[in-house]
Amino acid sequence: EPEVTQTPSHQVTQMGQEVILRCVPISNHLYFYWYRQILGQKVEFLVSFYNNEISEKSEIFDDQFSVERPDGSNFTLKIRSTKLEDSAMYFCASSEAGARTGNTIYFGEGSWLTVV
């Protein structure tokens, strides 16, 4: 069964450092997403990406964050100058079509980010 893959599964970084989280969406999917979940809290939307550009972003996704599709398979989330409150599980997800069309999304196993 096709799946979304993410690396690293866990990363510990010092406050102020930059982090890049990587994702390989399901190959025939066109929409990509990043969500995050702070421990014990709800899953929060960060950004959606379609046709090589950001489709939508939340208020969480400020200038500290950026996304990129550097090649035909990878989708990355960069977090600059990390803060303690960035510690969370970051989920990459993809869907064949967008939320507007009612498609379901499929999640990767997540990347745990711990900022110390």
Partner 1 sequence: RKEVEQDPGPFNVPEGATVAFNCTYSNSASQSFFWYRQDCRKEPKLLMSVYSSGNEDGRFTAQLNRASQYISLLIRDSKLSDSATYLCVVSNPNTGNQFYFGTGTSLTVIP
Interface contacts to partner 1, rule CB under 8 A: 31, 33, 35, 41-45, 48, 50, 55-56, 58, 89, 91, 98-110, 112
Least spacing, CB of residue 81 vs partner 1, in Å: 25
Rounded Cα–Cα distance for residues 18 and 5 (Å): 21
Q: Answer yes or no: are the C-beta atoms of 36 and 90 closer than 8 Å.
A: yes
Residues forming a β-bridge with 115? 13
Q: Which is nearer to partner 1, 63 or 100 (CB)?
A: 100
Residue 40 tokens read as 């014990």
Cβ at position 107, least distance to partner 1 in Å: 4
